[in-house]
Homo-oligomer: A and B are copies of this chain.
Amino acid sequence: MYCVITAAPIDILEMMQHVRRDADGAVLLFSGVVRDHDGGRPVTGLRYEAYAEMASQKLTGICKDVSAQFEIGDIAVVHRIGELAVGEISVAIAVAAPHRDAAFKASREVIERLKREVPIWKRERYADGEEVWLDGTIPNPPTAG
């Protein structure tokens, strides 16, 4: 299992090879990709920022929870930070499992929790030159005041 925050392009083949064991019959790879639009507005790129130490720790916790919840083998998550162009992979989740049902459920759970809990932010760059930090999700834990 590994959970990494990195400024380097994501090597999805390496992730898939890393998670697969001979007992696995399914490998599911989810990739989040930079889109050229958001709510109808043309987007030219994104900048991701993370609280890297906490983000990788949170991701590791999520992966451990999901491994206990579903019958999967190994799992790897990589989230990229820095400037990304349209079409680049911002996040990849590789899950291997003996059977596909668990792989689908685990992958979905990781991306949903990542988006709710992990301290990562994105700034959208629009075609007209404006840049905006995207409205995000307030993590579940009680606010500190």
Contact among B30, B86, B100 with A28 in the assembled complex (CB-CB below 8 Å):
B30
Q: Find residues 111-134 in chain A having any chain B CB closer than 8 Å to their own CB.
A: 111
The A interface is mostly helix, strand or loop, or mixed, namely: mixed
A78 to chain B, nearest CB (A): 14
A25–B35 CA distance with the chains assembled, in angstroms? 5
CA distance A103 to B96 in the complex (A): 18
A78-128 at interface with B (beta carbon < 8 Å): 86-87, 89, 96, 98, 100, 103-104, 107-108, 111
Is A139 interfacial (CB 8 A cutoff)? no
Task: Check B13–A36 contact: CB distance below 8 A.
Answer: no
B residues within 8 A CB of A89? 27
Count of chain A residues near B, Cβ 8 A: 31
Query: Would you call B26 and A98 a contact (CB within 8 A)?
Result: no
30 residue pairs of the A-B complex, CB under 8 angstroms, read: A12-B13, A13-B13, A16-B31, A20-B33, A22-B35, A22-B86, A22-B87, A23-B35, A23-B36, A24-B33, A24-B35, A25-B32, A25-B33, A25-B34, A25-B35, A26-B31, A26-B33, A27-B31, A28-B29, A28-B30, A28-B31, A29-B29, A29-B31, A30-B100, A30-B103, A32-B100, A33-B96, A35-B98, A104-B107, A104-B108
